[in-house]
Structure 1
Amino acid sequence: MSGKPMPSGLPGGPDTAVTPPGAAPRPAGTPKTVGTVWGLLILNTLGSAGAKTIVPLPRSLIQVVTMGALVAAFVLALALNLRLRIRPGAFLFLLTLLLVPSVISSAHLESGFGALFRCGRLALFAGTLWLLSRWWDGGLTFVRHHIRMYFAVLGSVAAGLVISPGAALPELYGGRLVGALWPLTPPQIGQYAAVITGLTVLLVLGRRTDRAGAAVVIVPSLVLLALTHTRTATLGLLIGLTLAIGSLVMTSAAARRFFTWAVLCAAVAAVGFASALQTWFLRGQNQENFTNLTGRAKVWDALLAAPRTATEEAFGVGLGDKSFGGLPIDNSWLAVYNEQGLTGIALVAAIIIVLGGVALLRPPSLPRACAIFLISYCAIASYTEAGLGDASPYLLHLALAACLLAAPAAATPLPAPAAPRRHVPRWAKERR
């Protein structure tokens, strides 16, 4: 790796990865419009509920924008892939199967007609990913799209903080950073900041971007993450990076150096800034509030104690807003259990297990490390965040992991060039 020149530019720049042996060369590469489709999927998953913005945005308008983005993404993906060339994989197959319990439970209309609408949204989301799977080849193209789009979202958060600090750090959220231009909650901002920070660090270690370009992404993202006081995102970032870099330690000297320095810095911070770190981590909560996870445990206990029919136990009550009794569930597994039943839990668990198993079987590489980071981050965040059972950023992260773990397309042998026609003089033809 030391002999390979380092490409310059931001992590959102062109992919300079060498085509793996046996992979078919792509004359034109991945179309630029694919990045637009990925950005529209990200816009769709930003959600419509959150903090109060500087300019009040009606929730109906936000829903029209986000749903319109999904429809536009599907239409663009279909236009790019009119021949419906897809790359079947376990992730997309299991995600499509997740529609079965969703539709069965939503058809009873216990959660209202909105449940069927959410089923249609999940179907469009999965269909768009199927259409994009044609370009899933284990490269880093989609990683760059991911970083670029979420960095743009964080840019809007930073702009809101500069324009109106009071709206961006409201007392309603305990002074935690929210989206003042687009309604984003602290956990959302923390998630986006943690994910693109981790991916950019891995790109630096893999020499796919320079340090100056990476710092433009990493430094502001870490500042925004600190302002959100989001413990789940912070732990997900630290643990996810530890596992991802650990997968590179045996093959990358840069990973070994980074890992060593990270351990030393963590030890110094734990000793010298223990009090400040504890204050940040507790966020001013008392022991009881911290123990029951800011009230989440009470909602979880009530959900598990609620009576259910056999059908509801197997397939749930239908896709909803991830709440129970008017309070957010904030746990992916319990949210899936409530809305898609034990069948949904089995399918979501299968997605995590299959992706994790494939990642462990792949030889060490930068795409594999990025996939390990994304899978571990989603698994950790699933304990205090909902979203694994419906169209959400977490499913997009897992889709990106599936893209990174996809085997390169088999090389298609080029046809042999035709033999040149021998020129026969006219006098020879007449003589014949």
Structure 2
Amino acid sequence: MSHQVGNEADDMEEEYEMEDADDDMDDEFHGRDAGGSDSDMDEYDYMNNRMQDTTAAQARKGRDIQGIPWERLSITREKYRQTRLEQYKNYENIPQSGEGSEKECKTTEKGALYYAFRRNSRSVKSTILHFQLRNLVWATSKHDVYLMSHFSVMHWSSLTCTKSEVLNVSGHVAPCEKHPGSLLEGFTQTQVSTLAVKDKLLVAGGFQGELICKYLDRPGVSYCTRMTYDDNAITNAVEIYTSSSGAVHFVASNNDSGVRDFDMEKFQQSNHLRFPWPVNHTSLSPDGKLLIIVGDDPEGILVDSRSGKAITYLHGHLDYSFASAWRPDGITFATGNQDKTCRIWDIRNLSKSVTALKGNLGAIRSIRYTSDGRFIAMAEPADFVHVFDVESGYEKEQEIDFFGEISGISFSPDTESLFVGVWDRTYGSLLEFGRRRNYSYLDTLI
């Protein structure tokens, strides 16, 4: 993964240059610094971070789900969408990888509606600090979401529409508990690169190899450590899991080509696996025996989780991969790549992928399965999240269409909610969708 770190807006503009489709659209969509407001009230709401949310009822009456006032602009939504599709530049480490992958991609039937729009919350904004990392949104229940905003981790309750700060790393952070190996002096001004939350444990990884662990039901921070002092030490991904013995562990993937396992019962590192290239994402199989390893190489590796020994290499992708996920059945898994594809693999025959699912604009940077294995969601860098029906053989798809960079996606553990973090100077927000059921009377309650 690229190790350059900088202001998030600079990253977006540098890596995703796109000519403005329309001056009016640019003023409205990318901030009102030049005074694009039609009324004092609009400007007041904007300056006070009180831009209006959108509810499902309002969307059914025709309001744009992001609150973009298309009727006031000199360009239609359809025209702006077409311009984005034509002009958006996908970041590639290997040139033409997106074009090269197209011939292998599955043709899917679009138009399904598995998750219906529920709410767009404009006061909740998750920040992207590195353009290639998009795993900053985590749902721990149907209503609770954790995401990163600048130098803090926020909790959002979609039930009460309230947010609160659970971890601030802009200043000095040090552990308030003593554990062998814990860095008691802590860290100052940590830039958080990745986030994971599960069973009251929050783990934040940093750009300098930092790991900060906090239990949500305890005051302060429990554990701090620096995995590596390598010059290229970005913590690219963290996954929390429960071991076969019942102990809570997490796996951290790092740009120094290492994957490390930490035992949170003992508060110490329990394993360190090394690979030939920076590891961008790792996913542990449901039985805990296998790890998907993807990174700065077109090939992925399926390895033994204890020894790190390669079981098989995954051939098919044409560029670097940044996402992976296991289906809960432990038989199939998915990998997301800068070649604009998400490939589905079956452990019973890994000579080639089962299928390749294609994005519209760019790399597949975030993948999630529902806990029941029925659906898989894949997120592009911007504008599109795709939800596929796994049971149909990935034949049917819901395409969620909006505007803005995607900071992450997450299903709630009960599968009832899908959250999408949107990064944009003006329209940054948290989109929430609810699973559609066959009993439509529940829809009227939302």
Question: Per the shorter chain, which TM-score range?
Answer: under 0.3
Task: Please state which structure has a larger fraction of its residues in helix.
Answer: 1
Which structure's residues are more often strand, by fraction? Answer: 2
TM-score normalised by length of structure 2: 0.26
For the pair shown, which has the larger CA radius of gyration, 1 or 2?
1
TM-score when normalising by structure 1? 0.26
